[in-house]
Amino acid sequence: MDNVIRVSVSEASRLFGVEPKTIRRALKSQQLKYIVVQGRYKINFNSLLEWSQGRTSIKNKLANRGIGQYVDKWKIKNKLFSPNPELIHRGEKKP
């Protein structure tokens, strides 16, 4: 069985940069896959990604107000920890 990542409504709203009521509307209209654990929604993260990428406004909020705003900070700038392109090409077999 695959490891399924599930998040709460509040976690989903923070990650995707939208209001919790937006997530709840998507749950009500059955656009998201979820389970209920102790009376709380646990939303399948894959369904959240698919839902967000299908709607331009949500995709923009993800990039600007959600977790997407941190992507540039995650890029590795230290060459010591970046993959060396020469080492990568040496490992490849040439025809």
Task: Give me the pLDDT at residue 47, please.
Answer: 94
Residue-range domain boundaries for the chain: 6-91
Amino acid 81: pLDDT = 61
Q: What is the overall mean pLDDT for the chain?
A: 83
Q: Percent of the chain having pLDDT more than 90?
A: 47
What tens digit of pLDDT does each residue of 22-64 get?
999 999 999 999 999 999 999 999 999 899 888 888 888 888 8
Q: Please write the tens of the pLDDT for every residue from 4-18.
A: 899 999 999 999 999
Interatomic CA distance for residues 26 and 24, integer angstroms: 5
pLDDT confidence of residue 61? 87
Q: What is the pTM of this model?
A: 0.68
Which three-class secondary structure state does DSSP give residue 43?
strand
Question: Which residue pairs, CB below 8 angstroms and at least 24 apart, start in 42-45?
Answer: 42/6, 42/7, 42/8, 43/6, 43/7, 43/8, 43/9, 43/12, 44/4, 44/5, 44/6, 45/4, 45/5, 45/6, 45/7
